C-alpha cells in the first residue's frame, strides 16, 4: 500500500495521540447501500488535548431515500422524525467545520467515509481528512469487541456491568502512546 504524501494542512500522525485534535463522528443512514441509501442523522464529539469537549453536535437530516425497516430497527429513527429535517447540505457544513484541522474517528469508518464522501461531493466539496477506524484497531489487536466482553482478551480492568452495550473494551480507554492503526483514508486516495 502506497501512503499518500501528507498535505501541510493535515495532522502529523506520528505525534502522540494527545497532541492531535479529533472529531468522533457517527452517522445513521437509511441503509447500507452506498448507491441508494443516504444520511439520516449525524453526531460529532470533539476531542482536544486528549479531553472530550463539552460541546457535542447532533442533527437530523432529511434523507434523499426512504428508510429501510432494518435501519429503523437499528437507529429507531422514523420517517416522520426526519421529514422536516434540514437537507444534507446543512449537515455537510456542520461536519466540515468540525473536521477542520482534526482527524475523523469512527467505528467501521468505511460507512462514514463512503456516505460523507458522497454527501460532500453533492455539495461541491471534498472530504479531506485523515481517518482512524476503531474497528480496524480492534482487528489489529485481535480483539472481538463486537461479540462482547466474553470474547475479549484479558483486560487489565474488569468490564463494568452497568456500561452500555456500545462501550468498547476498557483497555482502549487508558491506551498510552499513538494509535497503532492511524490509517490515512483521505478522499483523494
Q: What pTM does this model have?
A: 0.70
Q: Which residue has the cell 495532522?
A: 11
The answer to whether 27 and 111 have CB atoms below 8 angstroms apart is yes
**Cα 127 to Cα 172: distance, rounded to the nearest angstrom:** 27
Other CB atoms within a 10 A radius of the CB of residue 131 amount to: 23
**DSSP codes joined into one string, 67-116:** PPHHHHHHH---HHHHTTSPPHHHHHHHHHHHHTT-EEEETTTHHHHHHH
**Cα 84 to Cα 112: distance, rounded to the nearest angstrom:** 23
Cα–Cα distances (Å) from 122 to 24, 79, 87, 119, in that order, read 22, 22, 11, 5
Q: Which of 135, 136, 125 is nearest to 187 (CA)?
A: 125
pLDDT at 161: 37
Length of the chain: 189
Q: What is the pLDDT along the chain (189 residues), one digit of tens a residue?
A: 444 555 555 556 678 889 999 999 999 999 999 899 999 999 999 999 999 999 889 999 999 999 999 999 999 999 999 999 999 999 999 999 999 999 999 999 999 999 999 999 999 999 999 999 999 888 888 765 544 544 444 444 443 333 333 334 333 333 333 343 433 333 333
Q: Which residue has the cell 473494551?
A: 169
**Cα 42 to Cα 44: distance, rounded to the nearest angstrom:** 7
Amino acid at each position: 500500500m502506497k501512503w499518500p504524501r501528507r498535505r501541510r494542512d493535515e495532522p502529523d500522525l506520528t505525534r502522540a495521540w494527545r497532541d492531535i485534535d479529533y472529531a468522533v463522528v457517527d452517522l445513521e443512514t437509511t441503509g447500507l447501500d452506498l448507491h441508494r441509501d443516504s444520511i439520516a442523522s449525524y453526531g460529532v464529539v470533539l476531542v482536544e488535548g486528549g479531553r472530550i469537549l463539552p460541546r457535542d453536535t447532533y442533527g437530523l437530516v432529511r434523507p434523499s431515500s426512504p428508510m429501510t425497516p432494518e435501519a429503523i430497527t437499528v437507529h429507531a429513527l422514523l420517517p416522520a422524525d426526519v421529514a422536516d429535517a434540514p437537507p444534507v447540505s446543512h449537515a455537510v457544513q456542520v461536519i466540515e467545520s468540525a473536521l477542520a484541522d482534526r482527524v475523523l474517528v469512527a467505528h467501521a469508518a468505511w460507512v462514514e467515509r463512503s456516505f460523507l464522501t458522497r454527501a460532500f461531493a453533492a455539495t461541491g466539496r471534498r472530504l479531506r481528512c485523515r481517518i482512524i477506524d476503531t474497528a480496524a484497531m480492534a482487528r489489529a489487536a485481535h480483539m472481538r469487541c463486537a461479540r462482547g466482553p466474553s470474547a475479549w482478551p484479558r483486560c487489565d480492568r474488569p468490564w463494568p456491568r452497568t456500561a452500555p452495550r456500545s462501550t468498547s473494551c476498557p483497555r482502549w480507554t487508558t491506551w498510552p502512546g499513538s494509535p497503532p492503526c492511524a490509517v490515512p483514508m483521505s478522499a483523494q486516495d
